[in-house]
Amino acid sequence: MVVEVLFWVFVGLVAYAYFGYPALLVALGSLRGKREYPELQELTTVSLLIVAYNEEKVIRQKIENSLALDYPKDKLEIIIASDASTDSTDKIAIEYQDKGVRLIRRPTRGSQTGAQNYAAPQAKGDIIVFSDAETMYARDAIGKLVEPFADRDVGCVVGNHGYINPGDSATSYGETLYKRYDNFLKQKQSTARALLFATGAIYAVRSSLYTPVDPRYDHDTVVPLRCAASGHKVIYQPKAVAYEQASTEAENEFRRKVRIIVRDAWTLLGLKLMFPRLWLTFNIVSHKILRWLVPVFLIAALIMNAFLLDQLLYQVTMSLQILFYLSALLAFLLSQRGKGVKLLRVPFYFCLVNLACLMAIWKVCRGEKVVTWQPRGW
């Protein structure tokens, strides 16, 4: 029966996106074995480039955190790339000029990528590390991030980004859990030579490989893809740790994810997935595109299931789906009253993420784009 086949196809696509693809990466990684890198003979020069727009609440803490990093001061350059901030961000950065902090102010506001393009050519380091104002680094983060560059074939290194103080909200719990899953995936992708995307809060690239990115696109998508497409390795370094506060508000997290997905989607559409290697395109589709389409698959599966209720098996699958979505709704209603049930946090965040994907797909189909950017708390 066609409807029955379609039901299992849609269920299979969801299962592949979240479990099948990671399992494939684990299998490929086990075949490749553990990757060893040559020992770094001499520490290279590094430019830590922090892009900021109206970050007066956190920029001082970020600068202090950067100055406290355990990396030779004569080899570490700290740059605050202000995207025409209108608050006290620039003034605070100037206070630290005598400690070696450079302020590079973009005269007009644009995109985060545009601010990065403006500042990156002025960086003096052989390695550029990209960060933002909200993310704090472990003391040895830069040193660990630089280590894989001892291999001359490594072009980009992605750090381990996590969350602290997740609180007791369903949103912060789900966000923290999802980040752990994402970092696990990055680790397996790195081993399988399939890592193509970075975390904008902590990643590094050889300055010789950095070229300006279209301001409409996400730099942490384009830069690693360019490195991989040119034959350079993109590596995940779990020992290079960065962290920030998890969001506790579902509405803020929903808007943030919609913005990210819309920009990522337009980035990939702009690049037209035209890469010299089929393996790259396969991983883009498996890791990004299918994940974004999961809510479409879920809706389609639910519709197909409704036509199969004359069979006991499909009565059970329909009941399980309804129960899952009701659990997410209950978690949301409880959160509005300041309450929560730990068991319900996973279905709630799963539905939140996929609703964001659905909204982002709708915006992309309508031609809506996100160019200017806002700090996480906005």
Q: What six digits make up the tokens of 104? A: 């590079």
- For residue 42, the tally of other CB atoms under 10 A from its CB is 6
Residue 342 C-beta-side C-alpha neighbours within 13 Å: 3
pLDDT at site 135? 93
d(CA 123, CA 207): 8
Q: Evaluate if residue 107 carries a pLDDT over 60.
A: yes
For residues 69 and 137, the answer to whether their CB atoms sit within 8 Å is yes
pLDDT per position as a tens digit, 305-323 = 999 999 999 999 999 999 9
pLDDT per position as a tens digit, 295-305 = 999 999 999 99
d(CA 128, CA 119): 11
- Can you say how many angstroms the Cα of residue 258 is from the centroid of all Cα atoms in its chain? 13
- pLDDT category, 36, cuts 50, 70, 90? low
pLDDT at site 361? 94
- pLDDT category, 258, cuts 50, 70, 90? very high
Q: Evaluate if residue 244 carries a pLDDT over 90.
A: no
pLDDT per position as a tens digit, 78-89 = 999 999 899 999
- Can you say how many angstroms the Cα of residue 253 is from the centroid of all Cα atoms in its chain? 13
Domain boundaries, the chain: 46-250
For residues 116 and 218, the answer to whether their CB atoms sit within 8 Å is no
pLDDT at site 268? 85
Q: Evaluate if residue 273 carries a pLDDT over 60.
A: no
pLDDT at site 308? 95
Residue 194 C-beta-side C-alpha neighbours within 13 Å: 26
d(CA 104, CA 107): 9
Q: pLDDT above 90 covers what percent of the chain?
A: 57
Highest mean pLDDT among 54-68, 217-231, 234-248: 54-68
- pLDDT category, 378, cuts 50, 70, 90? very low
For domain 46-250, the CATH superfamily is Spore Coat Polysaccharide Biosynthesis Protein SpsA; Chain A (3.90.550.10)
pLDDT per position as a tens digit, 189-240 = 998 888 989 988 999 999 999 989 888 888 888 999 899 888 899 999 999 9
Residue 164 vs residues 19, 136, 233, 240, 247: alpha-carbon distances, Å: 26, 10, 30, 16, 10
